[in-house]
Each structure stands twice: as C-alpha cells, then as structure tokens.
Structure 1
C-alpha cells in the first residue's frame, strides 16, 4: 500500500519509532461467489484489498475507496468480519508500524477488475476453492468472510482460522 502523506509528515517528527495505525481490509465477493484479490507491487504476493484510512474517514468508506482505487471495482460493505491488532512490522527503510485491522465483507456492485493504480501488479477474481498462494493473513480473512458467524476478535480465546 502506498504511504499516505499524513504518515510521511508524522515520520519527519518521530523517525522510525513504532507507529500505531488503523488498517482496513476488504474481502470482496461477486455474484458467482468469487473473491477479488490483488497482486501487491510491494511484496509480489496475492492478497485481499486494503489500506489506511484517511484522517476522519470511516472504515466502510476506506474499503470502498481502496477497492476502487486499486481494482476499479465498485463495492458495498456488508458486515465486519474481524478486528485484530496485527504483529508489528519493520519496513526495509527502518519504519516500524503496527496495524489495527478491521476487515469488512463487501459485495461487488460494478466495474471491471483491472490494475487501477501503482500498488498492484495484477488483480483478478478467484474461486474460493482455487485461490493462488496467499499469506495466512488473507486466507484467514477470506475464510471468516465466508462464514455467517459473528465478528471475530483476536484475544477472545478462539483460533483465527475457522
């Protein structure tokens, strides 16, 4: 994900110190039950679509914006799938971040999936039983989004994988 300007501004003051950030992931399904994935330019791996909310932006608004910006697909958020504090990460430049991720299940309502910015190498629809290699992070979110169960919260004694 591209680093928003407000984060660059913060980094001028705090350097590489750990920065606690909100994140929003969108698990998008089409009418055929396929899931939308993007092949990330930064890692080269396939994943669900996500990003950092702009200051004052609601998580559902972030999901809609990020999915469109990255894939040209229009979506409607349907429900919260999970809320999880992720493990801290260190980027190659030394910046450290920890994300509080809110994952939303979304329904595609229009547009044609295509690379729509410089954050993705490829985008596509995949049958859930024929996914490309994805990190456990993405797989957990997809599996949770397929369930009708309640929102999952890390730390409440349940394994994140259903």
Structure 2
C-alpha cells in the first residue's frame, strides 16, 4: 500500500521513530459466502483488503473506500469483528510503525471484482474451502468474521493460535 501524504508529512518531523497508526481491514463476503481477496503488489501474497484511514475518516468509511479503490466492489459494513494492536514493524527504509487494526465484516452489494488500483496484482472471490495460501493475519480475520460471536479483543479471553503479522506497507 502506498504511504499516504499525511504520513509522509509526519515522517519529515519525526524521522523513522515509532509512529502509531490506525488500520482498517475489511473481510468481504458475497451472497455465496465467498471471501474477497487481493494479491498484494508489495508482498506478492493473497490477503484481505485494508488500509489506513484518512484524517477524520471513520473505520466503516475507510473499509468502504479501501475495498472500492482496490477491487471495484461496493460493500456495506455489517459489524466489527476484531480490534487488535499489532506488534511494531520496521520497514526496509527504517520506518517503525505500530498499527491498531479494526477489522470489519462487510457484505458485497455491487460492482465486479477487478484490479482497480496499483496495490493489487489480482483480486478475486474464494470459497472458504478453497482459499489460496494466506498468512496468519488474513486467516485470523477471516476466521473471526465467520464467527457469529461478539467483537474479539486481543488479550480479553481466548488467544489466537499464533500472532498475526503486521500488514505490509511500503514504509509509513
């Protein structure tokens, strides 16, 4: 994902020091209960859709915007699935970030899945029993989105099987 301009502006003041950032992930299902995934340019791997909110943007607005920008699919957020602070990540350029991820379960309401920006190599719908190889970050979020239960908060009860990886960002 490209680094938003407002983060570049902050980096001119703080350099590579730790930057605490919000992140929003959308786990999108269609009427056949397939999940929408994108094959990322930065990692080459398949993942759920997500990004960083613009200043003043609400998480649900971010999910709707990011999904459309990356896949041309229109969605409506249904519920908060997961709220989790991730471990800090250091990027090749030396930037250090820590993300607070809000994951939303979303339902597709229109559009045709296609690569709609320069962040994805491919996008597509996948049956839950035919998912491509995914990292723990994506698998944890898909698993939680399929559960009917309340929002899952890290550290409040059941722990994930393994710690998810921080989302790939080209430096933030």
TM-score range, shorter-chain basis? over 0.9
1:50 aligns with 2:44: no
Partner in structure 1 of residue 170 of structure 2: none
What is the total number of aligned residue pairs between the two structures? 161
- How far apart are residue 154 of structure 1 and its match? 0.3
| In 2: Cα distance, 1:65 partner to 1:20 partner | 21
* Residue aligning to 2:34: 34
CA displacement, residues 73-121 of structure 1 (integer Å, 9 cap, x when unaligned)? 0000000000000111111111110000000000000000000000111
Residue 89 (str. 1) matches residue 95 (str. 2): no
Q: TM-score, normalised by structure 2?
A: 0.92
Normalised to the residue count of structure 1, the TM-score between the two structures is: 0.98
1:160 Cα deviation (Å)?
Answer: 2.5
Taking the aligned partners of 2:100 and 2:160, their CA distance within structure 1 comes to 15
1:140 CA displacement = 0.4
List alignment gaps of at least 5 residues for structure 1.
none
Aligned to 2:79: 79
Q: Does the residue aligned with 2:129 lie in a helix, a strand or coil?
A: coil
Runs of 4+ aligned structure 1 residues displaced above 3 Å come to none
5+ long unaligned stretches in structure 2? 162-172
- Assess if the C-alpha contact under 8 Å between 1:152 and 1:160 holds in 2: no
- Following superposition, the deviation at residue 157 of structure 1 comes to 2.8
Aligned-residue Cα RMSD (Å) equals: 0.7
* C-alpha distance in 1 between matches for 2:60 and 2:20: 20
Query: Displacement, 1:150?
Result: 0.5
Tell me, yes or no, if structure 1 residue 133 matches structure 2 residue 147: no
**SS at the partner of 2:83?**
strand
Which residue matches 2:112?
112
Aligned position for 1:65: 65
Residue of structure 2 equivalent to 1:123: 123
